[in-house]
Chain A
């Protein structure tokens, strides 16, 4: 990938991120922050490559910690976001929600 292509990707992705979030209602701020927190868990693939190409023990140790942290970011981010969003229901689903809520 040449530098200028990478810059194009960077610019377009920055606009995309802005546009996707621009009109989000306040009620979804917390889930969305959690969701975007999950998305940067993609650092996992970079950490895997870093550890996979590590030679010295120092590199391996740091790479190992990196993969461990990145996996935590991805999995934890997914789990809390999913837990939160699972609970959002409209009135139509009220009966089901009420049953859980009553106890």
Chain B
């Protein structure tokens, strides 16, 4: 094939890839078509990858194929084996790999030392910087969610320290762009500083805020890919990277909003794992226990039951039992709905995935805005593994760290049943006023065991 027709074929194929990516993402934004969306996007990736082998002047074919084989194999096996509860950290991991790849492209271009010109040089440097930050930052995020890094390290002046590193990296980048022949040392310094920055930016952020951070790094990786696309003159990279950059930025904002946090707050304050110090002297009454048999009767003869699942349910692997219970109720004619708070699970939408895994159809699952008015007509609100998201102090107590966070109005139901392991406070360490209400009963025990007991109780009722 002549050089001309090869590059034309490549250009047309990249155009097709961009089309497939955008259509794929579009389809992924509705539950009905979501499944086919990823297949469309996947087809685009295959087309782009295959056609790139025809790139004029390409060498090192064996190396390319070995690298693709190793990277694909590791990722495929890990992605197939991971439990659904651990999905967020896997997204962080794969995202970090993409950022690292963008940084690697920049590094190859910059180490080569050929003058790139002011604009292209700047884009290579900034893309490399962002990619490297996303790489090391995402790895830290992965480590935190995976439980490899347990503490959040903070020291005085940390933000100033980060700013200084960023300034140094930018100054170093400026030297690379303006210097006639940037030495290898300057290039190495750029990437070292960027990698350090990603680490120091991410270690102070607590586990609860990590999803927002992962989403931010996802957007940043997209941007880095787009910049390196400019450097290589590759339209597919520019389009796909930019689409992800802007979509990811919007998604980050939506997530932060769902958690009632601003992005600045997430990055610079560090509420995510402190808490635990909230004053709670104002709660009156006591927690009133109840037996599973009584709850079973109550639910079996209810007209409407709303289940409020939290991450605790997923940790206890109770979602299958809970769905079994709900099916029994549905067969008895009870109207059962699942109410999902935006931050139930580890990130917005995560709980939907976990319920879907158990076989719960998505049209039984309602989000906060849809369902909040319905609690008043519900006979039973069954809270399982959720805590802060149903805490009424978010509406009333201005001194509480969760004040202002939108909550599920479970307290408005006629009866509230809370399945809980023990009497401790929630993830944030804040006492839950819901547990002390007159219409609340506590069913103590492991989520899975409690759900099994309830199944027996409903069958007996």
Note all chain B residues with C-beta closer than 8 A to A69: 71, 97-98, 100-101, 104
Query: In the bound complex, do residue A93 and residue B251 qualify as a contact, i.e. CB atoms below 8 Å apart?
Result: no
Distance of A59 Cα from B233 Cα, bound (Å): 19
Query: In the bound complex, do residue B107 and residue A38 qualify as a contact, i.e. CB atoms below 8 Å apart?
Result: no
Which residues of A from 49 to 80 have beta carbons under 8 Å from B?
49-56, 58-60, 62-80
Query: In the bound complex, do residue B247 and residue A18 qualify as a contact, i.e. CB atoms below 8 Å apart?
Result: yes
Query: In the bound complex, do residue B365 and residue A22 qualify as a contact, i.e. CB atoms below 8 Å apart?
Result: no
Query: In the bound complex, do residue A20 and residue B26 qualify as a contact, i.e. CB atoms below 8 Å apart?
Result: yes
Residue interface mask B348-362, A partner, CB < 8 A = 1: 111011001111111
Distance of A70 Cα from B258 Cα, bound (Å): 31
> Once A and B bind, how many residue pairs between them come within 8 Å at the CB atom?
409
Query: In the bound complex, do residue B52 and residue A70 qualify as a contact, i.e. CB atoms below 8 Å apart?
Result: no
- Residue among A31, A33, A34, A42 with most chain B CB within 10 A: A42
Tell me whether A66 and B108 are in contact in the complex, defined as CB-CB below 8 angstroms, given that A17-B243, A39-B240, A101-B359 are known contacts: yes
Distance of A12 Cα from B345 Cα, bound (Å): 34
Query: In the bound complex, do residue A86 and residue B71 qualify as a contact, i.e. CB atoms below 8 Å apart?
Result: no
- Residue among B225, B320, B358 with most chain A CB within 10 A: B225
Distance of A51 Cα from B364 Cα, bound (Å): 49
Query: In the bound complex, do residue A53 and residue B97 qualify as a contact, i.e. CB atoms below 8 Å apart?
Result: no
Note all chain A residues with C-beta closer than 8 A to B246: 13-18
Query: In the bound complex, do residue B58 and residue A44 qualify as a contact, i.e. CB atoms below 8 Å apart?
Result: no
B80 within 8 A of A: yes
Query: In the bound complex, do residue B45 and residue A41 qualify as a contact, i.e. CB atoms below 8 Å apart?
Result: yes
Which residues of B from 60 to 87 have beta carbons under 8 Å from A?
60-61, 63-64, 66-72, 74-76, 78-80, 82, 84, 87
Distance of A56 Cα from B356 Cα, bound (Å): 50
Distance of A86 Cα from B119 Cα, bound (Å): 43
Query: In the bound complex, do residue A81 and residue B38 qualify as a contact, i.e. CB atoms below 8 Å apart?
Result: yes
Query: In the bound complex, do residue B243 and residue A43 qualify as a contact, i.e. CB atoms below 8 Å apart?
Result: no
Tell me whether A101 and B323 are in contact in the complex, defined as CB-CB below 8 angstroms, given that A10-B238, A50-B108 are known contacts: yes
Note all chain A residues with C-beta closer than 8 A to B444: none
Which of these binds chain A: B29-37, B164-172, B307-315, B375-383? B29-37
- Residue among A13, A90, A96 with most chain B CB within 10 A: A13
Question: In the assembled complex, how far is the CB of residue A92 from the closest CB belonging to chain B, in whole angstroms?
Answer: 8
B424 within 8 A of A: no
Note all chain B residues with C-beta closer than 8 A to A14: 242-243, 245-246
Note all chain A residues with C-beta closer than 8 A to B248: 17, 33, 36
Query: In the bound complex, do residue A76 and residue B76 qualify as a contact, i.e. CB atoms below 8 Å apart?
Result: yes
Interface size (A, Cβ < 8 Å)? 92
Distance of A56 Cα from B184 Cα, bound (Å): 13
Distance of A36 Cα from B264 Cα, bound (Å): 23
Which of these binds chain A: B17-25, B272-280, B287-295, B429-437? B17-25
Query: In the bound complex, do residue B52 and residue A98 qualify as a contact, i.e. CB atoms below 8 Å apart?
Result: no
Query: In the bound complex, do residue A76 and residue B94 qualify as a contact, i.e. CB atoms below 8 Å apart?
Result: yes
Interface size (B, Cβ < 8 Å)? 125
Name the one of A47, A80, A87, A100 contacting B90, with C-beta atoms under 8 angstroms. A80
Residue in A closest to B356 when the chains form the complex, CB atoms = A87
Residue interface mask B251-267, A partner, CB < 8 A = 1: 10011001000000000
Name the one of B55, B100, B347 contacting A52, with C-beta atoms under 8 angstroms. B55
B367 within 8 A of A: yes
Tell me whether A80 and B98 are in contact in the complex, defined as CB-CB below 8 angstroms, given that A26-B367, A71-B67, A71-B75 are known contacts: no
Note all chain B residues with C-beta closer than 8 A to A1: 233, 235
Tell me whether A90 and B242 are in contact in the complex, defined as CB-CB below 8 angstroms, given that A84-B87, A85-B28, A85-B34 are known contacts: no
Note all chain B residues with C-beta closer than 8 A to A97: 359-361
Note all chain A residues with C-beta closer than 8 A to B403: none
Residue in A closest to B369 when the chains form the complex, CB atoms = A26
Distance of A25 Cα from B398 Cα, bound (Å): 30
B146 within 8 A of A: no
Query: In the bound complex, do residue B31 and residue A28 qualify as a contact, i.e. CB atoms below 8 Å apart?
Result: yes
Query: In the bound complex, do residue B361 and residue A27 qualify as a contact, i.e. CB atoms below 8 Å apart?
Result: no
A interface residue numbers (CB < 8 A to B): 1, 3, 6, 9-10, 13-18, 20-56, 58-60, 62-94, 96-103
B interface residue numbers (CB < 8 A to A): 14, 17, 21-22, 24-26, 28-32, 34-35, 37-39, 41-42, 45, 48-49, 52-53, 55, 57-61, 63-64, 66-72, 74-76, 78-80, 82, 84, 87-88, 90-91, 93-95, 97-98, 100-105, 107-109, 111-112, 119, 184, 214-215, 218, 221-222, 225-226, 228-230, 232-248, 250-251, 254-255, 258, 320, 323-324, 327, 340, 342, 345, 347-350, 352-353, 356-365, 367
Contacts A27-B352, A76-B97, A79-B79 known; 15 new A-B pairs at CB < 8 A: A13-B226, A22-B250, A29-B251, A30-B347, A30-B353, A40-B221, A48-B55, A49-B232, A59-B111, A67-B63, A69-B98, A70-B71, A82-B39, A83-B84, A91-B364
The 9 closest A-B pairs by CB, nearest first: A66-B104, A101-B359, A71-B71, A97-B359, A76-B75, A79-B79, A52-B58, A17-B246, A70-B101
Task: Provide 15 A-B residue pairs closer than 8 Å at the C-beta atoms, listed in order of the A residue.
Answer: A3-B119, A13-B238, A26-B352, A35-B25, A39-B243, A42-B45, A44-B52, A46-B229, A49-B52, A49-B58, A66-B104, A67-B63, A69-B104, A71-B71, A90-B32
